[in-house]
């Protein structure tokens, strides 16, 4: 049986979420993007409200980019990570 260890990755927030979270970049560990997001939510619980509809669904205006590739919303929580990966959250802002 093979064991997959958690990767150390960097998570970066857009400016609109930085104002809420109080941080810009953070190193976290996880096997998947979902693990890393949960780590960010544990550190800064209010982020969950701004990013998620429920426990596994990103809000429609939130994009997750892994190493310059946008990850489809339905694959975010299951996408595997390796050491050194960079996750960037994009959040669209609208108004009128």
Other C-beta atoms within 10 Å of 57: how many? 14
* Residue 46 near residue 23, CB atoms below 8 Å: no
Rounded to 5 degrees, φ, ψ at 64 are: -115, 125
Q: Are strands 25-30 and 7-12 parallel, antiparallel or unpaired?
A: antiparallel
For residue 1, what pLDDT is reported? 46
Quote the pTM value. 0.89
pLDDT reading at 2 higher than 80: no
Tell me the domains of the chain and their CATH numbers: 7-91 (3.10.20.30)
* Tens digit of each residue's pLDDT (9 = 90 or more) over 8-34: 999 999 998 999 999 999 999 999 999
């Amino acid at each position: 049986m093979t064991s997959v260890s958690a990767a150390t990755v960097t998570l970066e927030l857009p400016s609109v979420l930085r104002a809420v979270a109080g941080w810009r970049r953070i190193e976290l560990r996880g096997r998947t993007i979902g693990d890393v997001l949960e780590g960010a939510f544990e550190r800064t619980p209010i982020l969950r409200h701004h990013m998620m509809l429920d426990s596994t669904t990103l809000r429609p205006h939130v994009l997750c980019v892994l190493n310059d590739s946008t990850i489809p919303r339905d694959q975010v929580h299951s996408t595997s990570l390796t050491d050194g990966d960079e996750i960037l959250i994009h959040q669209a802002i609208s108004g009128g």
